[in-house]
Chains A and B, each alone.
Chain A
Amino acid sequence: MTSITLTVNGEPITATIPPRLHLADFLRDHLGLTGTHLGCEHGVCGACTVRLDGAIVRGCLVLAVQADCCTVETIEGLSDSGEVADLQHAFAARNALQCGYCTPGMVMTAQDFLLHAPADASRAAIREHLSGNYCRCTGYEAIVDAVETTLNARRTS
């Protein structure tokens, strides 16, 4: 067992955990933050996307012990702070989710795109940035629409 101290959604956390626990399981099972989903657990699908020290990563390919002394943000944090409220509204308005399984990861990645993209970013650039997140039911058209709508709205606001 290893002891770790980290900040999750602004709150300091100390925990004693086995080294083999990955970050997504730590968030879900130990902290009850079940917005971070697990699909493939091979780094492929993106459902587990979280922010680690400000950069999005695969929660299933990072061990919780690797996050010792780091800052983690999850969909719960971004949602509660209102950081992604417009994006969430755009997803709902455009029906960009059906089962919703991919949605937390999709929103985390879309927000990462919106924070770094130039204001004139193309639809192709949105698709490229989201390509590491799989959606198995909605189809990507509506998701890309929702991100594009948010990009345009933020640019003019």
Chain B
Amino acid sequence: MRPFLYSRATSLEQAMSEAAQSHAAIMAGGTTLVDLMRGDLTGAEHVIDIGHLPGLAKVELDGPVLRFGALARMADVAELPFLKQNYPALVESLQLAASQQIRNAATLGGNLLQRTRCVYFRDGVSDCNKRVPGSGCTALDGEDREMALFGASDRCVATYPGDWGTALAAFDTSIEISSAAGTKTVKFADFHVAYGDDPARESILQPGEIVTAILVQATPAGRHSTYVKVRDRQSYAYAVTSAAVALELDGDRVTAARVSLGGVASKPWRAPAAEAALVGQVLNQAVALEAGRAAFADAKALRHNGFKIDLGARTVARAAMVAKGKH
């Protein structure tokens, strides 16, 4: 690893001003950043460790809003009884991610901002528009089984890997961002940048901006929610396909639905067509599969990832039926 300057932030103000300088990188748990720096993938010369800042790890119900401090640890949040009961999709997305050692160190804010696992980005040598803008995308005629069906372009076809972000897309979520200029909130849908649009950027975050909280609008749909993750092995792997579904029900009839997809898109991906296919229907297996198919109607397959269209549709269908069965 290249040498770098390290400072441990003792206040948010200090962290924001240091992070505004060039070649600075924020570190929360470090489970993504340390690995990227070892691969010389960040250009960071100054690491600002915010991991010990006080007050940013709380999870609380603030009126109609669930407020998750950006430094809350994945493992801790996955154990919160209130959340398990009322928002199973959020808890499951954390439980099914990574391993205990990683969840103990990793934060919710860092999880959102983890970078793609695309091998051509991570190997540090292949042509990659994300790493070296303009150099090309090796995945276009390389191994593309892991690559995206949505939000890709001929410049980048990588997938966004996070589970927590995918689950958040099934709720009315915003991100609280703090900088020297003050605090603002942005809609979650506007927070990540589709890799296909601009491979070099992954979020709208600017130097000096720090994610301080994740805000989820409280909803009765939380109770009828789930996160289903399909992996190449039963545990400890990124999603091949995943889906979060949150429902409001009147008996067996769906009155409101949110559906999001993971493992198949270049950012946390909401599927409005699947939502429309569910609302107003008496939910059964056939309706659920119909909704799954609707979610993938616009999918653009590459050479080796077309199987995810059917698998993904079935993942959505399973999630819809599981969500219905929760109470």
Q: Please tell me which stretch of A6-14, A18-26, A90-98, A147-155 contacts chain B, meaning at least 4 of its Cβ atoms lie within 8 angstroms of it.
A: A18-26
B34 proximal to A (CB < 8 A):
yes
Chain B residues near A62 (CB, 8 Å)?
Answer: 30, 34, 105
From B38, B105, B236, contact of A58 by CB (8 A)? B105
From A18, A41, A58, A65, contact of B31 by CB (8 A)? A58
Chain A residues near B34 (CB, 8 Å)?
Answer: 22, 60-63
B170 proximal to A (CB < 8 A):
no
- Tell me the residues in window 1-43 of chain B with beta carbons closer than 8 Å to chain A beta carbons: 1-6, 8, 27, 30-31, 34-35, 37-38
A112 to B99, CA, bound (A): 12
Q: What does DSSP make chain B's interface, helix, strand, loop or mixed? A: mixed
Whether B99 and A63, one on each chain, are in contact in the complex, defined by CB atoms closer than 8 angstroms, is no
B285 proximal to A (CB < 8 A):
no
Contacts A19-B47, A43-B31, A55-B75 given; does A63 touch B101 at CB 8 Å:
no
In whole Å, how far is B63's beta carbon from the nearest beta carbon of chain A? 32
In whole Å, how far is B286's beta carbon from the nearest beta carbon of chain A? 31
B235 proximal to A (CB < 8 A):
yes
- Tell me the residues in window 218-270 of chain B with beta carbons closer than 8 Å to chain A beta carbons: 234-236
Whether A65 and B49, one on each chain, are in contact in the complex, defined by CB atoms closer than 8 angstroms, is yes
From B1, B30, B104, contact of A55 by CB (8 A)? B104
In whole Å, how far is A75's beta carbon from the nearest beta carbon of chain B? 14
Interface bin, chain B: 20 to 34
B135 proximal to A (CB < 8 A):
no
A49 proximal to B (CB < 8 A):
yes
Of listed B75, B99, B102, residue having the most chain A CB within 10 A:
B99
Whether A20 and B102, one on each chain, are in contact in the complex, defined by CB atoms closer than 8 angstroms, is no
Contacts A63-B6, A66-B30 given; does A132 touch B100 at CB 8 Å:
yes
Whether B101 and A57, one on each chain, are in contact in the complex, defined by CB atoms closer than 8 angstroms, is yes
B109 proximal to A (CB < 8 A):
no
Chain A residues near B30 (CB, 8 Å)?
Answer: 61-63, 66
Contact with A along B55-89 (1 / 0, CB 8 A): 00000000000000000000100000000000000
From B5, B35, B52, contact of A19 by CB (8 A)? B5
A157 proximal to B (CB < 8 A):
no
Whether B104 and A57, one on each chain, are in contact in the complex, defined by CB atoms closer than 8 angstroms, is yes
Interface, chain A (partner B; CB < 8 A): 2, 18-20, 22, 41-43, 46, 49, 52, 55-58, 60-63, 65-66, 68-69, 109, 112, 127-129, 131-133
Q: List 29 A-B contacts (CB under 8 A).
A: A20-B2, A22-B34, A41-B38, A43-B31, A43-B35, A46-B101, A52-B105, A55-B75, A56-B104, A57-B104, A58-B31, A58-B101, A58-B105, A61-B34, A61-B102, A61-B105, A62-B105, A63-B6, A65-B49, A66-B30, A66-B51, A109-B101, A112-B100, A128-B235, A131-B99, A131-B234, A132-B98, A132-B100, A132-B101
